[in-house]
Amino acid sequence: MDEIFEKRKKLIYEFICDEFYVPMKLKELAILLQVPKEQRNELKKVMDALEAEGKVRVSSKGKYVKGEAKHIVGTFTANARGFGFVTVEGEAEDIFISEDDINGAFHNDQVEVIIKASPSGKRKEGKIVKVLSHGTTTLVGYFEKSKNFGFVIPDNQKFVKDVFIPLERSKGAVTGHKVVVELTKYGGDNKKPEGKVVEIIGHVNDPGTDIMSIVKGYDLPTEFPEKVLNQAERVAKDVSTADMAGRMDLRGWQMVTIDGEDAKDLDDAISITRDGSNYVLGVHIADVTNYVQENSALDREALKRGTSVYLVDRVIPMLPHTLSNGICSLNAGEDRLALSCIMTINEKGSVIDHKIAETVVHIDKRMTYTSVKKILEEKDADEIAKYEELVPMFELMAELSSVLRGKRQQRGSIDFDFPETKMILDAEGRPIEIKPYDRNVATKIIEDFMLLANETVAEDYFWQEIPFVYRTHEAPDEEKIKKLATFIHNFGHSMHISNKEVRPKEIQKLLAKVEGTGEETLISRLALRSMKQARYTPENTGHFGLAASYYCHFTSPIRRYPDLQIHRIIKENLRGRMNDDRRAHYDNILTEVAKKSSERERLAEEAERETIKLKKVEYMEEHLGEEFEGVISSVTKWGIYVELPNTIEGLIHVTNMYDDHYNYIEENYEMVGGHTGKTYKLGETVRVRVIGTDFLQRTIDFELVE
C-alpha cells in the first residue's frame, strides 16, 4: 500500500514540476488526472503529503504550485547509534534524521530542517540544513593522553565523537582523569570537535568521582552562591512571639512526622482525631515562604534549581541546609510555622469540610516508617510500649488510610506498584546491598494523606479562580492504548474504549484482573509505558493516573519549587491581598515557572536514574559468572532485557542467543527462534548468567542459562 502511495506522489510531483503545468485547484487536478469522485480523498492525501514535505504549496487562490521546501526550526536529539530526531515545539511527532542527514549537528543544537519524506502512518523524515545555535557548551568525559595531544571520550552516549584536546589546554590531565571540557569547535563531517579542559573531577578510580561526573554532566549546581548562604543564615531565626501573631496555634495538638530513617528535611506533619463518626485529619506543611521571600536571592536560586536532587550517595538540596534541615524542617520538640490543611472526612472518605490556615505547630515525635510498621503491622510489643501514648493515633491513621485508598480505587485511580530501588553503600560509596524499596502500611498512610491534601487544596483554588500551579497528567495517546488493547486481547483480556478514549478505571480494572497471574508484570509494564508523563501547568486539566479532577503539589515546599510557589499564592489569598495587580502578576509568571519546574524535574529524575544505573553496574561487577532468576522486562530487536528481583536489569544481546537465529515480533513483544520456533515473551521468567559490565555505557550483559 505504501509503495502505491509513494508511486502516486512521485508521478504527481513530476507532473507539477513539468514546465507546461498551470497551477490548479484540487478539483481541476482530479478532472485532469481522471481521478473518480470516490477516490478524491486519496488524491487529497497525496497532495497533503507533498505539501508536508514542502514539495508543493497552496497559493492564496487555493491552487497547487511547486513549493520550496519549508524550513522548520527545532531541537536536535542525538542517538548513540548515529541517527537522531528533531523536536518541534507544538508538534506531537518528532522528525527522524538519518546519520547521513545530520550535517554536523550536535546533541541539543537548535537546527533548521527540511522534510524529505512523510510516509503515511510513519514519522516524517528530515534533513538538517543549518545549525542555528549550539545547545551544549560543556561536556564530561574520560581523558586519554597520547604523546602530542589528548582526547576526551564523552560520558553521554549521545555525543558520538571524541573531543580533541591540544596538550596546552589539558590543564595537566592524565589518562584516567574524569574532566569537564568546554567545547571550542564543534567539528564537521570528518573533523573531531575540539575543546579545553576546564575542570578535573578526579581519577576514575577515586571514590565519588563516578557520581560527581554525573553531577557535572547534568550541570547540577554543587555549591550555593555566597549571597544565598548569607541570606539563609540571616532568615533562619527561631520562631518568635511576633512570628506567631495572627496564626492559628496548634501547639497543643498531638502531632507527628513520619519519614525514612535518613530523611533530614521534614516538611510534613500529621494530626488526626475523631469527631463523632467523622475523622479530622490535619496535614501540616512547613511554611517555607515565610523565610524565602519572592524574588530574593534565595528564591531565585530555588527557582533555578527547581527541585532537590536525590542521588544515590548525596542530596543536592533546593534550599541551603540551614533552612532545609533547620528552621523549615518540622523537627520534633520545636515550635515551627506551618501552612495547614485541616479536613473533616466522613466514613466514606469524602472531605465534607476543610480549612487552610497559617499555623504554628509543635511536633511531639519524629517517627520512622519502620517504627510505625512495627506498631501497626508487626504488633511489636516493645515498639508499642515505647510509643504508648501515640498508638491510638496510628491506629486511627491506618483506619482512615484504608478508607481513602478504597475510595480512590473505586473512582479508578491507577496504582503502579513497581519496586523502586533501595541502595546501601559503604563508606567508600561502594554498593553492598541493592533491594526493592519497601512500601508498607506506614509509607501508604503518608501517601494517602498527602494525596488528599493536594487534591483538597487544588480543588479549593480552582473554584476560587485564582492563578495557580497544578500537577496535571494527560490521558494516554489513542494509538498507544489501541496497541495495548490489541496486545492484551491475546491473553483473553479486553478494555473498554469509548469515543477513542480510555478511562483510568479501565486500566485499573485491567491491572486488578492480571494481579497474581503470569502476565502481571508484563501487562503492568505495557500499561505504564502507554502513559504520558505528569507535569506542572497553570491550567487545571486533571490527573489521569490518579483519576483526580483537581491535583497540585502542596506538601513539599522544601524540595519542590511548585509547592513553594503555591504556598505564596495561598498566603496572599488568606491575608486578603490577592487583588487584580497580584492576579495579573501571577498570570504573568506561572507559565514560565511551571515549564521550568517540569524541565528541572525531568533533569533531576534522569540524573537520579543514571547514578542508580552506575551503582548497579558496580554491584554486578562483583557477581560476574553468577546465575540469577529474572523476568523479561523488555524485548527489542537487539535483544532481551531481564530484570532481577533486586531491580537490576541486564541485556541478553541477540548475538549471545547462539542456539538459533531469532526474529523480533514487535506487535507481540517477543523473540521467536527461526529454526526451533522457541519464543521469549515479555513477562516470562528466565534464568541468566552475568557475563559482562560496561561502566561507560552503564550496562550489564547477561546470557541465557538453559
**Predicted local distance difference test score (pLDDT) of residue 499:** 67
d(CA 67, CA 50): 9
* Cβ atoms of residues 369 and 437 within 8 Å: no
667 in a structural domain? yes
CA dihedral defined by 286, 287, 288, 290, rounded to 10 degrees? -160
Give the E-state strand segments of 174-277 in sequence order: 177-185, 194-203, 248-249, 256-259, 268-275
**Predicted local distance difference test score (pLDDT) of residue 660:** 65
28 and 166 part of one domain:
no
**Predicted local distance difference test score (pLDDT) of residue 347:** 96
* Cβ atoms of residues 347 and 403 within 8 Å: yes
DSSP 8-state assignment for residue 638: T
φ/ψ of residue 583, rounded to 5: -60, -45
258 and 401 part of one domain:
yes
61 and 99 part of one domain:
no
**Predicted local distance difference test score (pLDDT) of residue 322:** 94
Cα-based distances in Å from 604 to 308, 524, 595, 601: 8, 25, 14, 5
596 and 694 part of one domain:
no
Burial of 21 by CB count in 10 Å (0-12 exposed, 13-18 middle, 19+ buried)?
middle
DSSP 8-state assignment for residue 560: B
d(CA 547, CA 531): 13
User: At 153, which CATH number?
Assistant: 2.40.50.700
**Predicted local distance difference test score (pLDDT) of residue 627:** 96
What percent of the chain clears pLDDT 70, i.e. is strictly above it? 97
Residue 121 pLDDT class (50, 70, 90 cuts): low
Cα-based distances in Å from 133 to 74, 108, 127, 491, 503: 11, 9, 17, 50, 42
536 in a structural domain? no
188 and 111 part of one domain:
no
**Predicted local distance difference test score (pLDDT) of residue 213:** 93
220 in a structural domain? no
284 and 341 part of one domain:
yes
In the predicted model, what is the mean pLDDT of residues 212-227?
94
- Count of helix runs (H) and strand runs (E) in the chain: 17, 35
Helix (H, G, I), strand (E, B) or coil at 354: strand
Domain boundary among 584, 608, 632: 608
Give the E-state strand segments of 215-321 in sequence order: 248-249, 256-259, 268-275, 278-286, 309-310, 315-316
In the predicted model, what is the mean pLDDT of residues 496-512?
80
219 in a structural domain? no
Helix (H, G, I), strand (E, B) or coil at 338: strand
582 in a structural domain? yes
Lowest mean pLDDT among 19-23, 287-291, 677-681: 677-681
Domain boundary among 133, 154, 172: 133
106 and 129 part of one domain:
yes
Task: Give the chain's domain count.
Answer: 6
Residue 368's beta-bridge partner residues? 259
644 and 560 part of one domain:
no
- CA-wise closest residue to 411 among 287, 519, 544, 538: 544
Residue 667 pLDDT class (50, 70, 90 cuts): low
Output the average pLDDT for the chain.
90
Task: Check whether 511 has a pLDDT greater than 80.
Answer: yes
How many C-beta neighbours within 10 Å does residue 112 have?
18
DSSP 8-state assignment for residue 473: B
Grid coordinates given for 396: 486511627
The bridge status of strand 248-249 relative to strand 351-362 is parallel
Grid coordinates given for 168: 596546552
**Predicted local distance difference test score (pLDDT) of residue 120:** 66
pTM: 0.84
Residue 160 pLDDT class (50, 70, 90 cuts): confident
Give the E-state strand segments of 584-666 in sequence order: 627-636, 639-643, 649-653, 662-665
**Predicted local distance difference test score (pLDDT) of residue 189:** 64
Residue 683 pLDDT class (50, 70, 90 cuts): confident
Residue 571 pLDDT class (50, 70, 90 cuts): very high
537 in a structural domain? no
Task: Name the residue with higher pLDDT: 601 or 499.
Answer: 601
Grid coordinates given for 377: 503491622
587 and 642 part of one domain:
no
In the predicted model, what is the mean pLDDT of residues 434-448?
91
Which value, in Å, is the radius of gyration of the alpha carbons in the chain? 29
- The winner for highest mean pLDDT among 339-348, 424-433, 602-611 is 339-348
CA dihedral defined by 63, 67, 73, 77, rounded to 10 degrees? 120
Name the residue type at position 484: L
Task: Check whether 93 has a pLDDT greater than 90.
Answer: no
Name the residue type at position 519: E
* Cβ atoms of residues 701 and 648 within 8 Å: no
467 and 481 part of one domain:
no
- CA-wise closest residue to 283 among 442, 456, 404, 407: 456
Domain boundary among 85, 106, 133: 133
**Predicted local distance difference test score (pLDDT) of residue 503:** 84
**Predicted local distance difference test score (pLDDT) of residue 296:** 97
In the predicted model, what is the mean pLDDT of residues 334-359?
98
d(CA 701, CA 706): 16
Enclosing H/E stretch for 110: strand 110-117
Residue carrying C-alpha cell 513497581: 418
Lowest mean pLDDT among 387-401, 472-486, 493-507, 570-584: 493-507
* Cβ atoms of residues 180 and 217 within 8 Å: no
**Predicted local distance difference test score (pLDDT) of residue 309:** 95
217 in a structural domain? no
**Which domain covers residue 57, as residue numbers?**
2-66
514 and 571 part of one domain:
no
Burial of 4 by CB count in 10 Å (0-12 exposed, 13-18 middle, 19+ buried)?
exposed
d(CA 116, CA 97): 10
113 and 149 part of one domain:
no
d(CA 400, CA 417): 21
Cα-based distances in Å from 663 to 69, 276, 569, 571: 39, 65, 57, 61
The bridge status of strand 501-502 relative to strand 670-673 is unpaired
**Predicted local distance difference test score (pLDDT) of residue 419:** 72
In the predicted model, what is the mean pLDDT of residues 168-175?
94
User: At 676, which CATH number?
Assistant: 2.40.50.140
- Over residues 593-634, the pLDDT tens digits come to 999 999 999 999 999 999 999 999 999 999 999 999 998 888
Name the residue type at position 516: G
**Predicted local distance difference test score (pLDDT) of residue 492:** 79
540 in a structural domain? no
In the predicted model, what is the mean pLDDT of residues 32-60?
86
